[in-house]
Chains A and B, each alone.
Chain A
Amino acid sequence: MATSGHLNVTVDTTSSFLQTHLPYVVRNARMAVVHTGTVGGKQIELDEGLYSVEVTAPNGTQTTSVVHVPANGTARVDVPAATADSTGAAGIPPLGRVDRLPGLRLDRYRDLELEGILGGSPLDLVPVPTLLTTSDCNPRRIDIASWEFLPDKPLEQVATAVFTMGVRRIEMSLAVNPLPHTADLAACRVDRVQDPDGIYRLRMSFAAGRSLCVTMDGLLRNNSASAAADLLENATDLLWGKYEDPPGAALGGLILHGMGRLDERADWASNLAHSFPWLPDGQILYAALLMKDPEQKKQSEGLELLLSATTRRPLYTDGLSLAMELLRRWPDDESLPARTDRLTYLASYSAYADWDSINLSVDVTGE
């Protein structure tokens, strides 16, 4: 007769929401799912044996632990605070403001020909980014390859920054939030990061205080959004309501729309679209819902919103993608010239966009 024990799953995070909403899946030794739940809940009873426990960590990564649940005992899985949380802006001393830096500086980048003659030094292999200009936000340099950005109030368009790195010149939309009173809930940052394949990139991330945004960002980067759909729905509601973070809510909305889970949230999308005209992604989202509305009047409203939103730069790469697909397929022949005009405008972003980036990041070297 099988004897049983218990399993307890917790995560180390300061977010009270994440302490109880991160999903986990328990599989037995034959990898059959025996339990799904959220962390921080009651411990569960299982037959003695080996189990794998897959938990969505606060930074959106999936961590898997194999544990032995002992007879009459308790196995614990404690997911530590993830690295993404520790790279946030909080606690990093200010190094002086770097506003609208003039001109292009020579960067250090890899010179293969010289390396062939002289041999490369480790420093020479690493491109050093330079911030050239900003728009609608204020930068604060954190270190040689990192900046934090805070919004100018009120925002009239999506904040942007232009960087050089190596021979490339990159313009990024920045997900700063103009609403909160504390920097840690308003800021985003840009860091030079190295991909697993060794390529250096500039990557935007959310300030540590925007913990739900950090989680969503990580879920996207780790291709794990589909495993955390309920979490995303709840997080998006919280970002819209409690945390007053429209850029975060728009990201959640785009993810949910991509999963076919936004259809029941037309009121929410309408509010996002109309309350924050500086954020085209919200209007694009609402237009996507209105395109499917059986009422002609609603469809017309959606088209108007879409045509208006697509005269401006989106915040997210996915917002750009959705806008282009809507422009291409809007069921209205009369608007074709206007839609074609907008597509031509957006093509200036899409042709040179970094499609791996969550925020819109465009190579403007040729401009």
Chain B
Amino acid sequence: MLIQVPGVHAPAVTHAFVVGVSHYPFADGPEATADGESFEITNLTGAAKSASNIAAWLLDEYRNPDAPLATIRVLLSPTDGEELNPRVAGELAGPSPATRDSVVGEFDEFRQACRENPDNVAFVYFAGHGIQLNKRGAVVLLHDFGVMGKGNKLYGAIDVAGCREAMDENGNAHHQIWFSDACRQLPDIARKFESLPGAYTADEGNGQVDASPLFLASSARESAFAAVGGTTIFSDALLAALRGDAAVGPTNDCSDWHVSTTSLIRTLQRKVDAVLAGREEQTIDPTGRVREMVAHRFANPPDVDIVVDLTPFDATPIPVAELLFNGEIPLPVDPSWPLRARGDAGLYQLNVTVAPPLTKGAKKLFQALPPGYQHEVTVS
């Protein structure tokens, strides 16, 4: 279903395509078919909600002055009781299930819209059950996976990497960014899928675009995909990254703080690992045309929280801290420890002076980057 952003008349724009499938009626539940059940797929709990959160971020927070957001095509198949992001639910006139027919139709229109200007930007996000997952490709199951009478078992599926490959063509949006947030099947189940043809993929075009990275997030199992009733771990990591955790400073190509291909590569796996804390595995593989591009721009440099602990924490007399941005601009700090300050992201010098009986203070140079900086200094 198309959501058009009002008042956008820029020559180059961003078009987005967002799909989330939690509900698999032909694989799990009373309508399940023999084909669908044979793959032991169960409904998911957070894929549609996660996709709606990504769409909401695009509507309310995405910023690219060179190519403002013009449209989002959203297809969501929530399970009963799965609450979609209200911002997006309000924009949708009614249900917009991610069936193969609707995905193919909307994708064709999306591709055409992206082709209208090579300076356009494309943003694509898929979430759902994933099959045929490897370091370069992913097929995501759609709402009607398992439906009978379509001639092949993967009729209700889309080859995300194949669609990316198709849009990697001359004249299409020169900067595209793709995300596939997929729940991997158990090995014995996955093996059944590998040789099956029939997933939808678009016809390949000729040539290539400048950048078209595809981030393949592949959870080892459902428990690493989403908490019950929650959102997917990858979507949470992605939103945190886009909201600032992956922010990097200006470069020759972008005068604003921004999120780039490289900063996403560095941040996403780290954030997912932090959430999972070794309990499960989820790999994120960048593939596609992995070249630098700007995924999001910030209007202002981000602020960061700086926290510095003192060792020993009860040193007396209390050491005095001086915090200097770029080694010259002082930031106000409370005389107590831990030192807490909030300031621009950037480079700082911390001077800690001591009085007898303490004899050794500290000097520390550090970079404070989003989401924050925490470290310690030692005096003696």
Please judge, given known A-B contacts A223-B286, A321-B134, whether A29 and B346 are in contact too, CB under 8 Å: yes
Please tell me if the beta carbons of B347 and A50 are within 8 angstroms of each other in the complex: yes
Q: Is the CB of B250 within 8 A of A226?
A: no
Q: Among the listed stretches A157-165, A179-187, A295-303, A325-333, which one makes contact with chain B, having 4 or more residues with CB under 8 Å of it?
A: A325-333
Interface 1/0s, chain A 323-365, versus B by CB < 8 A? 0110011010000100011011011101111011000000000
Establish whether residues A351 and B187, one from each chain, have CB atoms under 8 Å apart when the complex forms: yes
Contact between A223 and B266 (Cβ–Cβ < 8 Å)?
yes
Closest to B344 in A: A30
Cβ-neighbour of A351 out of B191, B276, B365 (below 8 A): B191
Q: Does B367 contact A199, Cβ atoms closer than 8 Å?
A: no
**Contact mask for chain B residues 185-205; partner A; CB cutoff 8 A; 1 contact, 0 none:** 001101100110100010010
Contact check, A27 vs B249: say whether CB atoms are below 8 A apart.
yes
A-B contact count (CB 8 A): 154
Q: Which residues of chain B are within 8 angstroms of A19 by Cβ–Cβ distance? A: none
- The stretch that binds B, out of A6-14, A61-69, A128-136, is A61-69
B50 interfacial contact with A, CB 8 Å: no
Tell me how far the C-beta of B288 lies from the nearest C-beta in chain A, rounded to whole angstroms.
Answer: 8
CA distance A258 to B190 in the complex (A): 24
B261 touches A226 (CB 8 A): yes
CB pair B269–A223 under 8 Å, yes or no, is: yes
B290 adjacent to chain A (CB < 8 Å): yes
State whether A321 touches B201 (Cβ < 8 A).
Answer: no
Contacts of B257 in A (CB 8 A): 31
The reply to whether A32 and B250 form a contact with Cβ atoms under 8 Å apart is yes
| B contact residues around A66 at 8 Å (CB) | 347, 365-367
| Distance (whole angstroms) from the CB of A36 to the closest CB of chain B | 8
Does A102 have its Cβ within 8 Å of any Cβ on chain B?
no
Q: What are the residues of chain B within 8 A of A317 when measuring CB–CB?
A: 134-135
**Complex formed: what's the CA distance from A240 to B254 in Å?**
36
Instruction: Please determine whether A258 and B287 come into contact, CB atoms closer than 8 angstroms.
Output: yes
Q: Is A85 an interface residue (CB 8 A)?
A: no
Contact partner of A259 (CB less than 8 A), chosen from B251, B281, B290, is: B290
Q: Is the CB–CB distance between A226 and B262 below 8 Å? A: yes
User: From B278, which residue of chain A is reached at the shortest CB distance?
Assistant: A197
Is A351 touching B218 in the complex (CB atoms < 8 A)?
no
Given the contacts A30-B249, A325-B136, A355-B135, A52 and B367 also touching, CB distance less than 8 Å: yes
**A343/B195 contact (C-beta < 8 A), A30-B249, A66-B367, A258-B136 known:** yes
Main secondary structure of the interface of A (DSSP, over half): mixed
| Stretch of B69-77, B83-91, B157-165 that contacts chain A | B157-165
Residue of A nearest to B251 (CB): A33
Known contacts: A68-B327, A355-B285. The answer to whether A31 contacts B367 by CB under 8 A is yes
Residues in B whose Cβ lies below 8 Å from that of A103? none
Closest Cβ of chain A to B135, distance in Å, is 4
Asked if B359 is at the interface (CB within 8 A of a chain A CB), the reply is no
Cα A199 to Cα B273 in complex, Å, equals 13
B4 beta carbon closer than 8 Å to chain A: no
| B137 adjacent to A328 (CB under 8 Å) | yes
Q: Find out whether the CB atom of A258 lies under 8 angstroms from the CB atom of B347.
A: no
Residues on the B chain within 8 Å of A344, using CB: 194-195
Tell whether, in the assembled complex, residue B346 and residue A340 are in contact, meaning their CB atoms are under 8 Å apart.
no
The smallest C-beta distance from B82 to any residue of chain A, in angstroms, reads 29
- Residue among B137, B273, B285, B367 making CB contact with A64, cutoff 8 Å: B367
Of all chain A residues, the one with the shortest Cβ separation from B301 is: A30
B208, CB-defined interface residue at 8 Å: yes
Check A351/B190 contact, CB under 8 A, given A198-B278, A329-B201.
Answer: yes
Contacts of B190 in A (CB 8 A): 347, 350-351
